[in-house]
Amino acid sequence: LPVSMTSRVFYYNKDIWAKAGVGYPKTWDDLMKAGQAFQQNLGDGYYPLVIEARDVFAMNRSLFIQKHGKDIISHDTNLLAFSDKEMTEFFQLYVDQVKNHVFPSTKEFASYGKGNLYEMRPWIDGRFGGLYMWDTAVEKYADNLQPPMSLELGPYPMENNAVEAGLLARPSMMFSIGRNTKHPQEAAKLVNFLLNDPDGIEALGLTRGIPMSQSGLSTLQQSGHIDPSSLSFLGYEQAKALPQKIMPTTYTDNEQLMELFSEEMQHLAYDQSSVEEAAKNFLRRGNRVLKRMN
């Protein structure tokens, strides 16, 4: 049973965006233009976003679903569903985003070290102007900004005439009852207590995000545990309102798959391959990984 959900949405450093003189992107074209505005108005070291390989994959998956109505992984086969041409376009999009200064290249990002993103100096001092981040994780990024800077939820970019957001959402915590448990009734009562009883709900609190249970949500709202103006709750509410019919698969952000995607991004950043080669390699190696897991 999923206890709570988390989704990737856009958060921006409102002070830095104000200095850049550009509004938050409402479309993907707006995001491209924002990169150029940051570079021209603030300098080469400033970017609208800072995102790592899995963030790039998730964000551009969203764009492609909006544009083509097709997910990168097939829900029928659990294999990569893109053709060579579509996968090439996917990697070309990354190259274009780097070229347009939307976020640092993999090569440049590596120069900042391997620490947590929210502990990196360019994040703390505002040179990285935004995130595509899980709504349950955003607070630690906001807390590390140099005062008086603060984060703000931005609009979710949508293609013109898009009917699907391509949101990446997943359970942030799940409960299950073991098949071989000797106490199934007691286990069920405990799960029900934690999800629906006021005392259980209070004990669980916001451990892993906003509860999916309506009774859980109402209880925490009434007790004041949920701040309706918090970044996490605002992101949760935005995600809930976005159109979503194409759900991510179990493997959408699989660790092994993301490692392969990161490798191909690095090859592009260091001029070790073309977008066509990156696409073919990722399709071949990615499907090999997915077949082993199916």
150-204 pLDDT tens trace:
999 999 999 999 999 999 998 888 889 988 999 989 999 998 888 888 888 888 8
What mean pLDDT is reported for the chain? 94
Run of H or E including 132:
strand 130-134
Going from the C-alpha of 288 to that of each of 148, 178, 274, 292, the distances in angstroms are 48, 31, 21, 7
CA distance 115 to 125: 16
pLDDT at 172: 82
Pick 93 or 191 by higher pLDDT: 93
- Two structure tokens written together for 128: 């990285």
How many CB atoms within 10 Å of residue 158?
20
Q: Where are the domains of the chain?
A: 2-169+246-293, 172-241
Backbone angles phi, psi at 146, to 5 degrees: -70, 125
Tell me the CATH number of domain 172-241, given options 3.90.180.10, 3.40.190.10, 3.30.930.10, 3.40.50.300. 3.40.190.10
CA distance 66 to 165: 6
Most confident by average pLDDT, 113-127, 141-155, 240-254:
141-155
Give the pLDDT mean for 282-292: 97
Q: Which of 126, 168, 150, 159 is nearest to 31 (CA)?
A: 159
For 77, which DSSP code?
T
> Would the CATH topology of 2-169+246-293 be identical to that of 172-241?
yes
AA identity, residue 199: D
Residue 236 has pLDDT above 90, yes or no: yes
Give the pLDDT mean for 34-52: 97
Residue 277 has pLDDT above 80, yes or no: yes
Helix then strand count (H, E) for the chain reads 13, 4
* CA–centroid distance for 9 within its chain: 6
Backbone angles phi, psi at 150, to 5 degrees: -150, 160
- Give yes or no for a contact between 31 and 154, defined as CB atoms under 8 angstroms apart: no
pLDDT at 279: 98
pLDDT at 206: 79
pLDDT at 255: 95
- Give this prediction's pTM: 0.92
Domain 2-169+246-293: CATH class, spelled out = alpha beta
